[in-house]
A = this chain, B = another copy of it.
Amino acid sequence: MEKIKIAIIGYGNIGKAVELATQQTPDIEPVVILTRRSPDDIKPATQGLKVDTLQEAEKYAEQVDVAVLCGGSATDLPVQGPMMAAIFNTVDSYDTHALIPKYYQAVDQAARKAGNTAVISTGWDPGLFSLMRVIEDSVLPVGTHYTFWGPGVSQGHSDAVRRVKGVRDARQYTIPIEQAVEKVRSGSEPGLATRDMHLRDCYVVAEEGADKKQIEAEIKNMPYYFDAYDTRVTFISKEEMEKNHSQMPHGGFVMRGGRTGEGYRHVIEFSLKLESNPAFTASVLLAYARAAHRLNRDGQIGAKTVLDIAPGLLSPRPPEELRRDML
């Protein structure tokens, strides 16, 4: 089997998970990790896997089929996305929903100029959840859409709590409200306010002598992040935080209730329950790396999203086998 050769760009949570995920994909192998840090500081899990600096990326243009961009959406990807798409086929998990059109354009331009294919905003949301939103909306045009997130750790909300004065560490769990999910499942297409859909559950390590009442009030009233929700704040010790809150589970539900002719009601539900958000995201990234490689071989260059990619391209199995065994 000819293997798809990938470069792992950035070696944080996602980068490490991508490296591990290649052990489950016999048709994909990592050939280099590229990092902004000093390569000597990085110890890959794969024996003998090369590590080099990001500046040396062009050196690997010929050896690499797809670069998997594992940086963050806030500052890394807006720069690295277009830059890497000028050198490699790429796949990334850019997730700043509001800025996707702008990011798409920047990456598209760079990729087209270089004849590369760049799959942006994969993972699960954006990613599989986006896919489901579009499919559900297309097959049930008259209806109501719902996305619930969690139970899981929200990085953005955890960071917001950490910025509160007197907070030493914090973890915020987004929890979908079960009664709301059940109402949607019933097919009744309920109207749901923000507060009806999710609970925000915060675990906080306070600095010594900090005013806990004040911290709790400040969190609960924080605009945009917390003020529209019911928020629970629990103070715990540093030890308890390390022991019970070091994992990054996540997941959620994409649901649609809809009606067809003669008033028949239908409910479509897609859900994920993930023990590790980065591990699952990495696994999705590899499936779309496979697709990026195939699209490029097929001459389909430029930026692509999950909406542009036929599902069969994600699978290592040949089309005849998919039709025979999985259709």
Contact = CB atoms under 8 A, between A and B. Distances in A.
B20 A311 contact: no
Interface in A168-205: 185, 187
A59 interface: no
A275 B265 contact: yes
| Most chain B CB within a 10 A radius of its CB, from A21, A133, A306, A307 | A307
A107 to B, nearest CB: 12
A266 interface: yes
Interface string A132-165: 1111011111100000000000000000000000
Contacts of A324: 100-101
Interface stretch (A1-9, A79-87, A226-234, A314-322): A314-322
A292 to B, nearest CB: 13
Nearest to A254: B270
Given A25-B141, A100-B327, A128-B139, 18 more contacts: A20-B262, A24-B141, A24-B261, A101-B324, A134-B311, A137-B317, A140-B283, A260-B280, A260-B282, A266-B276, A269-B273, A270-B271, A305-B312, A306-B311, A306-B327, A308-B312, A308-B319, A309-B310
Contact of A267 (B17, B24, B273): B273
Contacts of A138: 287, 290, 311, 314-316
Nearest to A282: B260
A284 interface: yes
A290 B8 CA distance: 38
A243 interface: no
Contacts of A54: none
A101 B319 CA distance: 10
9 contacts: A101-B320, A101-B323, A260-B276, A262-B276, A266-B276, A269-B270, A270-B271, A305-B312, A310-B310
A135 B139 contact: no
Contact of A260 (B101, B104, B260, B283): B283
Contact of A137 (B185, B272, B315): B315
Nearest to A131: B311
Contact of A326 (B130, B264, B276): B130
Chain A binding surface, main DSSP class: helix
Contacts of A100: 323-324, 327
Contact of A327 (B25, B130, B316): B130
Interface in A40-67: none
A279 interface: yes
A310 B312 contact: no
Contacts of A261: 17, 20-21, 23-24, 279, 282
A167 interface: no
